[in-house]
């Protein structure tokens, strides 16, 4: 018997196969970004809400996934084991309450996304919005971030200042007094941030493309 949970889990796995969040999958399929969100899976009255055949068809078309593969995702998971990673929109990352002073995810308001073979228990994902990080990262891309991973020159990183500014840059140089960052978008200037103004920096491990 086909269940509500099986179908929605298959959609989550379909998104993960494409390196997308549920909202990223909906956006790529030309649907309202909230179409596949967890909040839309149960009605306000507590009844199960099923995805429409049209929305599933558009998601399959957008990811180039044949119907028989989607059926496999329903029946067996369709691939290696995954684990849930906290997911937040990049636009929300500068707000208070989502990170501790070390850059580790805390608090409420996080969604989840499934990633295969993620071994870092502190890893989290950010969904890119807008064009400020192009051509490296585009609107709807998801980046996987590790606050505990060692960082070397040339790594792409997420940086947060004591003033609440959050940015994605490439690490040029880091000293006891400052951190030098190269912009991923030529339209934006490189940055040098004093160590006293730096709250945390975390390495980007992976990005959907």
Residue-wise pLDDT for 84-139, tens only, equals 788 888 888 888 788 988 898 888 788 887 776 566 778 899 998 888 888 888 88
Residue 81 confidence (pLDDT) above 60? no
CATH 2.10.109.10 domain span(s) along the chain: 85-207
Report the pLDDT value the prediction gives residue 76, as an integer from 0 to 100. 63
Structure tokens at 190: 């490189």
Q: Which among 46-50, 56-60, 84-88, 94-98 has the top mean pLDDT?
A: 56-60
Give CA separation, 118 vs 83, 126, 144, in Å.
7, 15, 9
Environment class of 158 (CB within 10 Å of its CB; exposed 0-12, middle 13-18, buried 19+): buried
* Least-confidence region, from 101-115, 135-149, 183-197: 101-115
Report the pLDDT value the prediction gives residue 39, as an integer from 0 to 100. 83
Report the pLDDT value the prediction gives residue 4, as an integer from 0 to 100. 87
**The CATH fold of domain 4-76:** 434 Repressor (Amino-terminal Domain) (1.10.260)
Residue 32 confidence (pLDDT) above 70? yes
Q: Which residue has the higher pLDDT, 81 or 18?
A: 18
Please state whether the predicted TM-score (pTM) of the whole model is above 0.75.
no
User: What is the pairing mode between strands 124-127 and 142-146?
Assistant: antiparallel
- Mean pLDDT calculated for residue range 152-171: 93
CATH 1.10.260 domain span(s) along the chain: 4-76
Q: Name the CATH code of domain 85-207 (choices 3.90.1150.10, 3.40.50.1390, 2.10.109.10, 1.20.1260.10).
A: 2.10.109.10
Residue 173 confidence (pLDDT) above 90? yes
């Amino acid at each position: 018997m086909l269940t509500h949970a099986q179908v929605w889990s298959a959609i989550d796995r379909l998104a993960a196969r494409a390196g997308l969040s549920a909202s990223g999958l909906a956006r790529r399929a030309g649907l309202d970004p909230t179409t596949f969100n967890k909040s839309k899976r149960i009605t306000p009255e507590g009844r199960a809400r099923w995805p429409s055949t049209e929305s599933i068809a558009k998601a399959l078309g957008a990811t180039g996934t044949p119907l028989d593969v989607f059926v496999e995702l329903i029946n067996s998971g369709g691939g290696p084991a995954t684990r849930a990673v906290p997911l937040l929109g990049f636009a929300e990352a500068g707000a208070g309450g989502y990170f501790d002073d070390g850059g580790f995810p805390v608090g409420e308001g996080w969604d989840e996304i499934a990633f295969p073979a993620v071994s870092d228990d502190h890893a989290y994902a950010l969904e890119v919005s807008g064009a400020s990080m192009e051509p490296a990262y585009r609107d709807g891309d998801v980046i996987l971030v590790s606050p505990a991973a060692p960082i070397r020159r040339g790594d792409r990183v997420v940086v947060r200042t004591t003033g609440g500014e959050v940015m994605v840059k490439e690490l040029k140089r880091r000293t006891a007094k400052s951190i030098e960052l190269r912009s991923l978008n030529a339209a934006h200037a490189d940055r040098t941030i004093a160590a006293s103004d730096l709250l945390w920096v975390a390495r980007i491990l992976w990005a959907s493309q």
